[in-house]
Amino acid sequence: MKPSTPSPSPWVLSERAALMNPSVLRELLKLTEQPGIISFAGGLPSPKTFPVAEFEQACARVLRDDAHAALQYAASEGYGPLRERVAAGLPWQVDPAQVLITTGSQQGLDLAAKVLIDTRSRILVETPTYLGALQAFAPMEPQVHSVASDEEGVDIAALRAAQAAGTPARFMYVLPNFQNPSGRTMSEARRAALSATAAELALPLLEDNPYGELWFDQPPPVPLTARDPAGCIYLGSFSKVLAPSLRLGYLVAPKEVFPKLLQAKQAADLHSPGFNQRVVAEVMKDGFLDRHVPRIRALYKSQRDVMLAALARHMPQEVSWNRPVGGMFLWARLPAGLDAAALLPKAVARGVAYVPGAAFYAGAPDARTLRLSFVTASAEEIERGVCALSAVIREHMV
Amino acid sequence: MKPSTPSPSPWVLSERAALMNPSVLRELLKLTEQPGIISFAGGLPSPKTFPVAEFEQACARVLRDDAHAALQYAASEGYGPLRERVAAGLPWQVDPAQVLITTGSQQGLDLAAKVLIDTRSRILVETPTYLGALQAFAPMEPQVHSVASDEEGVDIAALRAAQAAGTPARFMYVLPNFQNPSGRTMSEARRAALSATAAELALPLLEDNPYGELWFDQPPPVPLTARDPAGCIYLGSFSKVLAPSLRLGYLVAPKEVFPKLLQAKQAADLHSPGFNQRVVAEVMKDGFLDRHVPRIRALYKSQRDVMLAALARHMPQEVSWNRPVGGMFLWARLPAGLDAAALLPKAVARGVAYVPGAAFYAGAPDARTLRLSFVTASAEEIERGVCALSAVIREHMV
């Protein structure tokens, strides 16, 4: 008897589907969620910072005072009072009509990609850059060019060369404050130069600022968008100052682009959860963030200090790292001859995890780099984890 | 003095941006939200059906028992217990690993479009079809072919002709139960024929079922997906049985397609709101929907009956309409010579609104059709609104 032939699959996937890949980070998170692993891998805010009591009160109040509207379909633009609060909180003149509430700032990346990228359009990113942005852009099939960057941010000469080397890029994606993954912050001088150069080159900027409020000693320089609102789309988030699971972010776009972003938003999920928007607006009233965010800053600064001290104490001198002035991440580099991806399983076997830096490069990766989050683990875990990681590195040094 | 030349705009929009348009429905909703207008236009569930007390208790319980996990970043697949509940509630064998929680079922359309449509791919839809689906597909730049359909659903001969007339379609999009906009339900015989024909033609089906639970006298025939799970993606929603503003839906996909849909989901918004997912899982436990949904069915059935009676009482005999056996919408057709879009401003001037049917056609529209929702207005408003609409129609009949 011949075996029966299975019927051929009816599914033909799009070309873009081949460009989609499982998120290295999300797969890693599963690995590192094993009990007993000290994880510097996740980009998870410390749950200590979640304002649970305030959410409880806000949920109760919204459902008591305004349940029917809060549970019904709502405008794609977002909840008016929340849009007004966002506009009022930004350090430049923003009309609330230019604010679009998004399902996390990740959705802002998806919408911008849809509206600005055609197949094979060139776009520019920093080196390294946020992996989630590369994943959001990929389905629109761009050519991504990685612009050389140093500790102060984008290299302006490299930017000029990149823009001259091919068809003009549709935009450059930048994350100037406490960058994910590198923790670096773009200097005032570099921002001024980038803003002027982008205007001169007619290059739109897509500015992502999820961590900007999490500064340690002084606020970062003003956003690029504040310098040229007509030439920039700005993305912000409530995930790092309130809670990620509400999935609320926002974008601010010039009047020329806003209507198309709004139409893309309608098509993507009609609107972001209206109940969540009202809860966040309720929590934020009376200046709650002005009292709440300083506590996050103080906690994360102390955790950064613990990590810096542990690194200085334990790491071989051939390992280098930076000193972030805000945010959640620190960027380290292994000694020559070591590969952070190859080392990871050995580190996990010793009970500590991190994210290899290679995933964050749109171009040729620096395989020696790695990202360490200092906000999720406790101070005691940071000390133990860095000690274990140092031992693994020493063992594998030649 | 010469006027200063404004600097040229740096923005170049994608080709797909030109295919995006403001949602006629959402623009209409703004128009019809004027005080005093009786609106049959919106697709808004009756707020009387929102289980406010249960949401209050669930929010409090989730934040009391599980706040840190409920407010943190979460898996892109969705909250495990909710995926299990979805799988267990479907009338065919579903592995929870095949369930992806989405930000409303609208997002399921966006994800399917990304994974299945290349520029100029052919896709098939019913005549008429859900406008939101056309909007979700448009950014991927498909060629949309409208397959002739009658009161029982897709015309099978027309489907065969459509599939033979060009390159094979990537999928056919169908909404078999109490369709938006037409209110019609695909018969058992037509489902059997469509399922067999799709399998024979190797044509995947994208089955959208947001209204399936809202049947009036008896459940609709089993879903198309139940007949061939390997050949279908199924979309469901909590918007119509719990509340729209939570923005939670789900899709069920074969193992062959699921990983790409999941990757598209990660890139689109990381995950759907984890807090909302836990609240919905909490509300649904102990069989709440088994007690709650029958109340929605009874309310909507009585509202349909009020509208049918009002139509019979007031409308000129040249107006025709159908008798939906579930859902939220009724489909009517004006006398020859009238255009539902042209008539709308006159109806609004008389205090009543509806959605002209033309927006729901991917091909040549039937300009005489219109969609009437019978669930948002009260019984008394339905009577008054239908009376006013009848008067407007009579005035404009030739």
CATH number at residue B317: 3.90.1150.10
* Chain A residues touching B282 at Cβ < 8 A: none
Q: Which residues pair with A38 in a beta bridge?
A: A352
Q: Is the peptide bond between B181 and the residue preceding it cis, with omega within 30 degrees of 0?
A: yes
- Give yes or no for a contact between A177 and A194, defined as CB atoms under 8 angstroms apart: no
Preferred mutation among B11, B63, B111, B250 to probe A, highest tally of A CBs within 10 A: B11
pLDDT tens digit string along A191-231? Answer: 999 999 999 999 999 999 999 999 999 999 999 999 999 99
- Please say which residue of B263, B287, B311 terminates a domain: B287
Token pair in block for residue B349: 């001037």
Task: Map chain A to HEC letters.
Answer: CCCCCCCCCCCCCCHHHHHCCCCHHHHHHHHHCCCCCEECCCCCCCHHHCCHHHHHHHHHHHHHHHHHHHHCCCCCCCCHHHHHHHHHHCCCCCCHHHEEEECHHHHHHHHHHHHHCCCCCEEEECCCCCHHHHHHHHHHCCEEEECCEECCEECHHHHHHHHHCCCCCCCEEECCCCCCCCCCCCCHHHHHHHHHHHHHHCCCEEEECCCCCCECCCCCCCCHHHHCHHHEEEEEECCCCCCHHHCCEEEECCCCCHHHHHHHHHHHHCCCCHHHHHHHHHHHHHHHHHHHHHHHHHHHHHHHHHHHHHHHHHCCCCCEECCCCECCEEEEECCCCCCHHHHHHHHHHCCEECEEHHHHCCCCCCCCEEEEECCCCCHHHHHHHHHHHHHHHHHHCC
For A56, the closest of B60, B243, B259 (CB atoms) is B60
Is pLDDT at B5 greater than 70 in this prediction? no
Instruction: Phi first, then psi: give them for residue B385, nearest 5 degrees.
Output: -65, -45
- Per-residue model confidence (pLDDT) at position B42: 85
Residues A168 and A277 in one domain: yes
Q: Does A52 touch chain B (CB under 8 A)?
A: yes
For residue A92, is it within any domain?
yes
Region B315-338: what's the mean pLDDT?
A: 98
- Please say which residue of B271, B287, B303 terminates a domain: B287
The CATH code of the domain that includes B114 is: 3.40.640.10
Residues B115 and B138 in one domain: yes
Residue A398 — very low, low, confident or very high, per pLDDT cuts 50/70/90?
confident
Nearest CA distance, A232 vs chain B (angstrom) = 9
Per the structure, the count of domains in chain A is: 2
The size of chain A, in residues, is: 398
For A60, the closest of B23, B60, B168 (CB atoms) is B60
pLDDT tens digit string along A60-75? Answer: 999 999 999 999 999 9
* Chain A residues touching B106 at Cβ < 8 A: 267-270
For residue B345, is it within any domain?
yes
Residue A43 — very low, low, confident or very high, per pLDDT cuts 50/70/90?
confident
Percent of chain B scoring above 90 in pLDDT: 92
For residue A13, is it within any domain?
no
For residue B156, is it within any domain?
yes
Q: Would you give the end-to-end CA distance of chain B in angstroms?
A: 61
Nearest CA distance, B398 vs chain A (angstrom) = 38
- Give yes or no for a contact between A173 and A106, defined as CB atoms under 8 angstroms apart: no
Which residues between 179 and 198 in chain A have a beta carbon less than 8 angstroms from any beta carbon of chain B?
A: 198
Residues B64 and B208 in one domain: yes
Q: Is the peptide bond between A47 and the residue preceding it cis, with omega within 30 degrees of 0?
A: no
* Chain A residues touching B170 at Cβ < 8 A: 12, 14
- Per-residue model confidence (pLDDT) at position A29: 65
Residues B194 and B128 in one domain: yes
Is the Cβ pair A13, B268 closer than 8 Å? no
Residue A25 — very low, low, confident or very high, per pLDDT cuts 50/70/90?
low
- Please say which residue of B287, B307, B333 terminates a domain: B287
* Chain A residues touching B203 at Cβ < 8 A: 10
Q: Give the C-alpha separation, A385 to A117, whole Å.
A: 42
- Per-residue model confidence (pLDDT) at position A21: 79
Task: Lay out the sheet containing A99-102: strands in order across.
Answer: A99-102, A249-252, A232-237, A205-208, A172-174, A122-125, A143-146
Q: Does A115 touch chain B (CB under 8 A)?
A: yes
* Chain B residues touching A135 at Cβ < 8 A: 263, 266-267
Residues B244 and B384 in one domain: no
For B13, the closest of A16, A21, A260 (CB atoms) is A260
Residue in A closest to B136 by C-alpha: A267
Region A97-105: what's the mean pLDDT?
A: 98
- Per-residue model confidence (pLDDT) at position A260: 97
CA distances in angstroms from B118 to A240, B12, B143, B338, listed in the order given:
36, 21, 10, 39
Instruction: Phi first, then psi: give them for residue B251, nearest 5 degrees.
Output: -130, 155
Region B248-276: what's the mean pLDDT?
A: 97
Percent of chain A scoring above 90 in pLDDT: 92
Is pLDDT at A33 greater than 70 in this prediction? no
Pairing of strands A99-102, A355-356: unpaired
- Report ipTM for this prediction: 0.95
Residues A59 and A172 in one domain: yes
For residue A322, is it within any domain?
yes
- Per-residue model confidence (pLDDT) at position A225: 98
Nearest CA to A170 out of A195, A148, A143, A191 is that of: A143
Q: Give the C-alpha separation, A74 to A390, whole Å.
A: 52
Is pLDDT at A24 greater than 90 in this prediction? no
* Chain B residues touching A276 at Cβ < 8 A: 273, 275-276
Three-state SS at B1: coil
Q: In the block, which residue shows the tokens 């007509």?
A: A230
Residues B152 and B95 in one domain: yes
pLDDT tens digit string along A366-382? Answer: 999 999 999 999 999 99
Q: DSSP for B60-121?
A: HHHHHHHHHHHHS---TT--HHHHHHHHHHSSS---GGGEEEESHHHHHHHHHHHHH--TT-
* Chain B residues touching A75 at Cβ < 8 A: 26
pLDDT tens digit string along B154-210? Answer: 999 999 999 999 899 999 999 999 999 999 999 999 999 999 999 999 999 999 999
* Chain B residues touching A101 at Cβ < 8 A: none
For residue B334, is it within any domain?
yes
* Chain A residues touching B68 at Cβ < 8 A: 47, 50
- Give yes or no for a contact between A250 and A208, defined as CB atoms under 8 angstroms apart: no
Cα dihedral across residues A106, A112, A115, A118: positive or negative: negative
Amino acid at the residue B293: V
Residues B130 and B269 in one domain: yes
Is pLDDT at B233 greater than 50 in this prediction? yes
- Per-residue model confidence (pLDDT) at position B1: 45
Residue A1 — very low, low, confident or very high, per pLDDT cuts 50/70/90?
very low
Is pLDDT at B257 greater than 80 in this prediction? yes
For A260, the closest of B17, B203, B271 (CB atoms) is B17
Which residues between 229 and 248 in chain A have a beta carbon less than 8 angstroms from any beta carbon of chain B?
A: 230-231, 239, 243-247
Q: Give the C-alpha separation, B201 to B154, whole Å.
A: 15
Preferred mutation among A30, A48, A52, A72 to probe B, highest tally of B CBs within 10 A: A72
Region B76-83: what's the mean pLDDT?
A: 97
Q: Is the peptide bond between A223 and the residue preceding it cis, with omega within 30 degrees of 0?
A: no
Is the Cβ pair A257, B11 closer than 8 Å? yes
Residues A391 and A343 in one domain: yes
Q: Give the C-alpha separation, B205 to B154, whole Å.
A: 12
For A115, the closest of B17, B103, B256 (CB atoms) is B17
For residue B60, is it within any domain?
yes
- Give yes or no for a contact between B207 and B356, defined as CB atoms under 8 angstroms apart: no
- Range name among A26-35, A125-134, B32-41 with the lowest pLDDT average: A26-35
For residue A2, is it within any domain?
no
Q: Give the C-alpha separation, A102 to A92, whole Å.
A: 20
Nearest CA to B116 out of B205, B238, B44 is that of: B205
Residues B31 and B145 in one domain: no
Residue B331 CA, distance from chain mean position: 15
Residues A111 and A239 in one domain: yes
Q: What is the pTM of this model?
A: 0.96
- Give yes or no for a contact between B73 and B271, defined as CB atoms under 8 angstroms apart: yes
Residues A300 and A277 in one domain: no
* Chain B residues touching A204 at Cβ < 8 A: 10-11
Q: Which domain holds residue A124?
A: 52-288
CA distances in angstroms from A134 to A24, A238, B103, B339, listed in the order given:
12, 21, 21, 47
Residues ≥6 apart with Cβ < 8 Å to B212:
B177, B178, B220, B223, B236, B326
pLDDT tens digit string along B127-154? Answer: 999 999 999 999 999 999 999 999 999 9
Which residues between 278 and 337 in chain A have a beta carbon less than 8 angstroms from any beta carbon of chain B?
A: none
Q: Give the C-alpha separation, B194 to B204, whole Å.
A: 11
- Give yes or no for a contact between A357 and A342, defined as CB atoms under 8 angstroms apart: no
